[in-house]
Structure 1
Amino acid sequence: MLTEGGRARALFSGGAVMLGAVARTDLLGPHLAVHLALEALSTLHVRLRGLPDEIRVFPTHGGGSFCGTGGRSGHETTLGHERQTNPFFQTTEVMPFLARILNQHRYPTYYRDMAAVNRGGPTLIGITLPPLSRLNPEEVGRLKDEGAAVVDVRFGSDYDRGHIAGSYCVGIDGPVSAWVGWLIARGRPIVLVGGTEVELRHAQRQLLRIGFDTIAGVLDGGIDAWRSSGREVSTFETVQVEDMAQWVLSAEPMTVVDARDEHEWVAGHVPGAVHMYVPDVPYRANEIPREAPVAVHCASGYRAGIAASLLEQAGLKRIIHVNGEYSDWDRLHLAESVPS
């Protein structure tokens, strides 16, 4: 709490109050989830009750993180705005509050060891990031052969037009640290590819913040340098939801993979689609027939790009990235399957 002249001016709320959300309460284990949820309820409706509406609130972060339940983007709010719009402030009865806060999506596996990393004292990033080593294609190829993960931070459409086979498509336009932390083992060397210098530095900072500090360097010259060296460049076909719908209606042999999470899947999905949430792809890709193309979609195209790269790592050949909004399916007045 920041006070000025005896008046409360700002609240650094951590996860107790976020923008349209609160922090999830199950990260320390299911045995503590209900207890912490009740503490959250008490914080919102008892501990903060005496604070004025105009107080500025600075949460630990905005929306888009697996740490919170729902939420919106941004860095600042006011207590009054949250009282009017945040569903957790508006839910005052115990059981409805528990039902809301404990209805959680899966979270990245690296969360499980973050507490130990933090207690051990991770290296401070500081104002200036450490330099990124510039690697030529030969060095990147050698590191990849030795087991390094190649992470391409370009937008999915750029990745589709040409990328290093076997690399990870984790675009800078999404939560890089969350997906790299979920899919790549801590301690595995990482090579960054693509993007501007600013974007590469942004990706580096995201990874350092979760303790992924084994960044071997960046591919100097990006994918153009890789291509110019005569090395293999892989491509994906990029289509929109409307194209996927036409294929479904044509009855051509094809597997549609829905890479969204379970909550999204049960709300409605493409008839005949196979549900395979992004982190499950490496373990279930062998379920997909190899003799027909596979079209991968999600809600926006971002996670589908990640899933497509994982399918390529699993050995599938003709991969189609549906890089568009799944809401177009409804706009086209197409029926969905809903589990009963």
Structure 2
Amino acid sequence: MKVEQIYTGCLAHAAYYLESKGEAAIFDPLREVGPYLARAEKDNAKIKYVFETHFHADFVSGHLDLKTKTGARIVFGPTAKPNYEAIIAEDNQVFNVGDYKVKVIHTPGHTMESTTYLLIDENGKEHGIITGDTLFIGDVGRPDLAQHVVSDLTEEKLARHLYDSLRNKIMPLSDDLIVYPNHGAGSACGKMMSKETTDTLGHQKQVNYALRADMTKEEFVEELLSGLTPPPGYFPQNVLMNIKGYESLDSIKKRAIRPLDPHEFEAAAEETGAVILDVRTRDEFTSGHIPRSIYIGLDGNFAPWAGALITDVKQPILLVVPEGKEDEVITRLSRVGFDHTLGYLKGGFEAWKGASKEFDTLTSVTVQEFKKQYVMKPDAKVFDVRKASEYNAEHFEGAVNTPLDYFNDYLPQFPSEENFYLHCQGGYRSVIAASILKSRGIHNVIDIAGGVDAMKKSGLPLTDYVCPTTML
């Protein structure tokens, strides 16, 4: 059967391409539709359907642009209520794609409209299931997202629906089916997803905690909800965009790819209150950056961090970006709903300095320098911006955990007078955190370059978790 996974690592996202006899279908596409159009063109195929497993929270889907560009029909599962034309399929309804069949299996739980698609080949053999966020490899979808859009859909109610969907709809299927999930490790849509992006259903029944055969519904709900952290702030905003519709990415790019000289850039920032987002490397930002700009490097999990830390997707944004990367940055922002980029600094940061504009730097020390300074002042405060699970596994003794995922909640806790240190695992997140602090006028921050990775290499002693020190 001709089914292809199209994986995007920075979002840990998987879309799927299905083709038979010149007809194609796309499942859960990303915002930019060019790769799907090119894939179908390679097969000389026409995209007939765009199947959506649910209203996504962690990205804005490309279903509407695909419909506009190809005439494809959008398909949702039962109970979905989009604000645009789409097929709302019935449970067990079958769609034909060439000689293949796609059967709708309504699997509420992650959300109420969540749907799994059973793929059946030209010989009538069941091949695999495209599960969306219902079933991952090693995990299942978190049931606490829909309540941020519909308040009476509590996480307990959805968890119970998910238990029933898994037991009554998924687990009775054949063990040799291939599971094709919407996400892999690194996504915030689950707790413990595997790095593997496909598996057989039979193997998942053996190793996935949520598919344990003797698990009661109460045990399932308790285990599923245990350890859930709050979802990123942009999730409910993306859900609404996917329900209500959105502006074409082509229009957004046309407006956003706008070069501004340093004087125009500065004026735009002052007039609009735009966030200045610097996407260069850590070293470049540390050495010099526009005052009050926020660093989120393009070489990391750029879009998810932008979504987690910029609280409103309608926030105007101005970019400091390496030459030639403008289109990529705007696309990656729009993937998570940030459609209000106003332009970018023409000539980059060097042009800013060349115009004799004021700039700032970030103090950063090596682990060796930190050790010397800490011996001189052992009461200096140290903050660890990694996730709680990372901190619990090992951390610098005395460091306080202030996870970057929810960094805006911790801002009042940082000292405004005395110097303090900040670190993460390898240096990416700590520079993001430091830039946020400096944008709020807290300049007495010192970044520990290389973070825990460098500490371990230098022999700096680390301890495991003893007692809660997270500041709220």
> Could you tell me the TM-score, scaled by structure 1's length?
0.85
Identity across the alignment (%): 29
**Residue 279 of structure 1: CA displacement?**
5.7
Is 2:306 the counterpart of 1:180?
yes
**Partner residue in 2 for 1:69:** 191
**Partner residue in 1 for 2:249:** 125
Counterpart of 2:324 (choices 165, 186, 197) is: 197
Q: Which runs of 5+ in 2 are unaligned?
A: 1-117
- Distance in 2 between residues matched to 1:193 and 1:48, nearest whole Å: 47
SS in structure 1 of the partner of residue 179 of structure 2: strand
- Distance in 2 between residues matched to 1:59 and 1:126, nearest whole Å: 28
SS in structure 2 of the partner of residue 173 of structure 1: coil
**Partner residue in 2 for 1:98:** 221
**Partner residue in 2 for 1:135:** 260
- Distance in 1 between residues matched to 2:435 and 2:410, nearest whole Å: 14
Label 1:272 to 1:128 Cα distance change in 2 as closer, same or farther (>3 A). closer
User: RMSD over aligned Cα, in angstroms?
Assistant: 3.1
**Partner residue in 1 for 2:287:** 161
SS in structure 2 of the partner of residue 197 of structure 1: coil
Label 1:138 to 1:37 Cα distance change in 2 as closer, same or farther (>3 A). same
Label 1:138 to 1:252 Cα distance change in 2 as closer, same or farther (>3 A). farther
1:280-312 per-position Cα deviation (integer Å, ceiling 9, x unaligned): 544544543344322211233222121101110
SS in structure 1 of the partner of residue 462 of structure 2: coil
Decide which structure has greater helix share. Answer: 1
Correspondence 1:295-310 to 2 at 5 A:
295-310=421-436
**Partner residue in 1 for 2:232:** 108
- Distance in 1 between residues matched to 2:244 and 2:410, nearest whole Å: 35
**Residue 53 of structure 1: CA displacement?**
4.2
Label 1:56 to 1:280 Cα distance change in 2 as closer, same or farther (>3 A). closer
- Give 2:158's aligned amino acid: L
SS in structure 2 of the partner of residue 2 of structure 1: strand
SS in structure 2 of the partner of residue 115 of structure 1: helix
Correspondence 1:252-331 to 2 at 5 A:
254-278=380-404, 281-282=407-408, 284-326=410-452, 329=455
**Residue 223 of structure 1: CA displacement?**
1.4
1:215-267 per-position Cα deviation (integer Å, ceiling 9, x unaligned): 11122222122222211222223345565455434435633122234444455
Q: Contact conserved, 1:149 with 1:168, CA < 8 A, in 2?
A: yes
**Residue 62 of structure 1: CA displacement?**
2.4
Counterpart of 2:171 (choices 49, 55, 60) is: 49
Label 1:11 to 1:143 Cα distance change in 2 as closer, same or farther (>3 A). same
Q: Which runs of 5+ in 1 are unaligned?
A: none
Is 2:134 the counterpart of 1:16?
yes
1:173-213 per-position Cα deviation (integer Å, ceiling 9, x unaligned): 33333332333223221012123534x43332232123211
Is 2:253 the counterpart of 1:144?
no
Please tell me whether Structure 1 or Structure 2 has the larger radius of gyration of its CA atoms: 2
- Distance in 1 between residues matched to 2:375 and 2:167, nearest whole Å: 52
- Distance in 2 between residues matched to 1:268 and 1:105, nearest whole Å: 19
**Residue 143 of structure 1: CA displacement?**
1.9
Count of residue correspondences: 339
**Residue 57 of structure 1: CA displacement?**
3.0
Label 1:6 to 1:124 Cα distance change in 2 as closer, same or farther (>3 A). farther
- Give 1:171's aligned amino acid: G
Which structure would you say has the larger RCO, counting Cα contacts within 8 Å and 6 or more residues apart?
A: 1
SS in structure 2 of the partner of residue 97 of structure 1: helix
- Distance in 1 between residues matched to 2:371 and 2:163, nearest whole Å: 44
**Residue 140 of structure 1: CA displacement?**
1.5
- Give 1:2's aligned amino acid: L
- Distance in 2 between residues matched to 1:120 and 1:12, nearest whole Å: 24
Q: Contact conserved, 1:281 with 1:311, CA < 8 A, in 2?
A: no
**Partner residue in 2 for 1:338:** 466
Decide which structure has greater strand share. Answer: 2
- Distance in 2 between residues matched to 1:266 and 1:34, nearest whole Å: 27
- Distance in 1 between residues matched to 2:264 and 2:395, nearest whole Å: 43
